[in-house]
Structure 1
Amino acid sequence: MSSDSVLPLLETPIIVGFGGVGVDFLAVVPVFPKPDAKIRTTEFKVQGGGNTGNTMTCAARLGLKPRIISKVSNDAPGKSMMEELEAEGVDTSFLVVSEEGTSPFSYIIVDSQTKTRTCIFTPGYPPMVPADLPKANLLSALDGARVVYFDARMTDSALVIAQEAFRQNISILIDAERPREGLNDLLGLADYVVCSENFPKAWTEASSIPRALLSIILRLPRLKFAIVTLGKEGCIMLEKCVDDESSHVEEMDVDTCLTSLTKTKDDSTAMPTCIASPVTKLIAEGIGSVCGRLYFGTTEKIPPSELIDTTGAGDAFTGAVLYAICANLPPKKMLPFASYVAAAKCRALGARAGLPYRTNPYLTSFTESIV
């Protein structure tokens, strides 16, 4: 395959991911079972999972060099997780392996009628604690890293890693799924946040997602951008502008700004797109104002016959965002690119099987004129 059809990178950036890994037991059923019912699977698969494991796998397939920090046990599931990650090009040398206990795992029920998935998670034991990662190992793991990713689990250990990354001026991306104990301290160190649909309003108590994003940017002054993923409805991103862009810009209510963007989307386009506001002083009464740019990203329209499983779609999206940061993609290319990667994942069962490789020629269409 020619180099023209390979996803471009000026280098091979090292990234570090800390958080959940596990084994997923995926059961596809004709319809979600009712209480006390007996039902048969139509398909069953066992594969690696966990937000960090999935995100690092996605990043590896896109051409990055991920290192992963987490904890498993020296049991069969733990060994299989490590082998699967290593086969994908993820450096597992910083995984903590307990001689006793059990590795994390999840039961995932995939409803083939509604195309939804229900996850039942069992944490590993013993849990990871800061003492599991000596300072020398931590420094080695962070050596040369471009970005450090956290899925906001095991926050005591995450904060130790994040503080060291902060001291070394390594960029930090937080995947905020829901409010958790210790998350606020992590968010205070973040350069980038990617969050689930419910997180912004739950964390800020704002009345709308755009108002919540503005509140997040104001509460976390280090942030360069915050993204909220909305499933099949797309994504919204608020990017803070640099200071020298803030003079002589118009003011606009942030909710009104989003409404104006969504009205211009082209519903006839099947592939993901991105619509951006100009640099604007975005305001929300009772919250404040931010000079920035609001983006609305659409998703790929996947034919129903091709939509298999949404497990791990958010992890795929975030893995693509990590690539975009390392490749210096502008947001108008980053958001459609990440949406395409997430949609590709949804065409296969489980969080990893459908993740595209950097040799996928279609990926380059999102990165033209960048390198």
Structure 2
Amino acid sequence: MFDIIGLGCSAVDYLGIVPHMPEIDTKMPIEDFTRQGGGVTATAMVAAARLGAKAAFIGAVGDDDLGDFTVRELEREGVDTSHVVRVPDASSQFSFIMVDKATGKRTILWTRSDILPLDPAALDRDFITSCKVLHIDRHEVPAAIQAAKWVHESDGIVAMDAGTYAPDVDDLLPLVDVLIASHAFATDFTGDPDPAGSARALLHDRRIAGVTCGDKGSWFATSAGDEFHVPAIVPPDPPGVVDTTGAGDVFHGAFSFGLAKGWAPRRCARFASAVASLKCTQLGGRAGIPTYSQAHHLLASASPDQ
């Protein structure tokens, strides 16, 4: 039995801190550099596992060195990879990420993998229905649709990290119980740039809908009629915000951790905010992900309006 199974995107991230974002036809030194596992759902599962959940990842990677690294890093974090598909003669996805030293904000340059989408017919129903929460992103839509139907039949929860809207997700969205969208997705899909309003518009008959807005916090609406805003929690200073890469992925992983625990939406959101905050204190999407006790300590010390 898994607490959370993630189905979606994985990548390898090459990250460097730069003094400022470069202009065209200039050179500058990299002040710090790292290679880490990345990808929306893969990183969310690492967050869930580090917090103490029993987590698994389903996705496709190439049979190349980057694919080896992807699987090895997931396994090192305790994430089950038994249903990761290795695609012969395919290249795994990777990214180059420049992080601005002054703000911790980043620019991502990424490659589109030549791996074909996961075949829904290749999914293992018994494995997928062994989870409390199925965590998906906007990748692998046909496979996610099949997996979501199975999870509903077994009374599980389907949670989605909705980062960028495109019409190909329209058939998937009705199967999502907990939809947490980026501000860009929410605005594009609902036409309402106000995060509170777009959270209400996204709710429909879901359990929970939310809109994340980075350092402005997140807005939620629930089927119980509750609407609330959760401010971003300021990370400890020093070191403060070093890098925001992966903060959203980690927020979603921590929120799904709370769902698997049976927590109320407000508790899930506030906990996820603390976990994402601590992630930002180190370079890369995964290095700064805290343990449960570290996140709890930050929550205990944060002011009530955070």
User: When the two structures are superposed, what TM-score results if normalisation uses the length of structure 1?
Assistant: 0.76
Equivalent residue number for residue 311 of structure 1: 245
Paired residues for 1:197-346 under 5 Å: 197-206=183-192, 208-218=194-204, 221=205, 223-241=206-224, 292-302=225-235, 303=237, 305-346=239-280
Q: Which moved more, 1:148-157 or 1:103-112?
A: 148-157
- For the 8 Å contact 1:225–1:239, the answer to whether it is kept is yes
The one of 137, 150, 154 equivalent to 1:168 is: 154
Who is 2:133 aligned against?
147
Look up the equivalent residue of 1:301 and give its one-letter code.
V
Report deviation, 1:335. 2.0
TM-fit CA distance, 1:93:
0.6
User: Which secondary structure does the structure 2 equivalent of 1:61 belong to?
Assistant: helix
Local SS of the residue matching 2:160: strand
CA distance in 1, matches of 2:189, 2:156: 25
Deviation at 1:48, TM superposition (A): 0.3
Q: What is the rounded CA distance, in whole Å, between the counterparts of 1:55 and 1:107 in structure 2?
A: 19
Deviates more, 1:332-341 or 1:59-68: 332-341
Q: Which amino acid aligns with 2:159?
A: L
Distance, in Å, in 1 between the alignment partners of 2:233 and 2:113 is: 35
Partner of 1:185, secondary structure, is: coil
Q: Runs of 5+ in structure 2 lacking a partner?
A: 301-306
What is the Cα deviation at residue 14 of structure 1? 2.4
The aligned residue for residue 31 of structure 2 is 42
Distance in 1 between residues matched to 2:10 and 2:297, nearest whole Å: 27
Q: Which amino acid aligns with 2:100?
A: D
Rounded Cα–Cα distance in structure 1 between residues aligned with 2:101 and 2:299: 31
Matched, 1:354 2:288: yes
CA contact (8 A) 1:150 1:174 kept: yes
1:120-170 Cα offsets, whole Å, 9 max, x none, are 111222222316x52xx4213214210101111121222222222233332
Q: Distance in 1 between matches of 2:291 and 2:116?
A: 33
1:365 is displaced (CA, Å) by: 5.9
Distance 1:16 1:35, change over 3 A: same
CA distance in structure 1 between the aligned counterparts of 2:267 and 2:125, rounded to whole angstroms: 33
Q: Shift in Å at residue 334 of structure 1?
A: 2.1
**Mapping of residues 89-168 of structure 1, within 5 Å:** 89-130=78-119, 134=122, 137-168=123-154
Question: Given residue 33 of structure 2, which amino acid in structure 1 is its aligned partner?
Answer: F
Q: Give the share of equivalent positions with the same residue, in percent.
A: 31
| Greater C-alpha radius of gyration | 1
1:16–1:141 CA contact under 8 A, matched in 2 = no
Q: Which runs of 5+ in 1 are unaligned?
A: 1-11, 242-291, 367-371
State which drifts further: 86-95 or 333-342: 333-342
- Whether the 8 Å CA contact 2:12–2:94 is kept in 1: the answer is yes
- 1:21 alignment counterpart: 10
Q: Alignment RMSD, CA only?
A: 1.9
Cα 1:61–1:35 shift into 2, 3 Å? same
SS at match of 1:92: coil
Q: Secondary structure at the match of 1:360?
A: helix
Give, in whole Å, the separation in 1 of the partners of 2:154 and 2:216. Answer: 37
Name the CA shift for 1:182/1:354 in 2 (closer, same or farther; >3 Å).
same
* Cα 1:30–1:94 shift into 2, 3 Å: same
Q: Report how far residue 229 of structure 1 moved.
A: 1.1
User: Could you tell me how far apart the structure 1 residues matched to 2:10 and 2:70 are?
Assistant: 8
- The answer on whether the counterparts of 1:155 and 1:181 sit within 8 Å (CA) in structure 2 is no
Alignment TM-score, normalising by the size of structure 2: 0.92
Quick one: distance in 2 between partners of 1:23 and 1:198?
Answer: 24
Paired with 1:359 and 1:335, the residues of 2 have a C-alpha distance of 17
State the Cα deviation string for residues 294-316 of structure 1 (Å, max 9, x = none): 11111222337421000000111
Q: Report Cα offsets for 1:78-129 as digits up to 9, x if no partner.
A: 1011011001010001000012121110111101123210111112222223
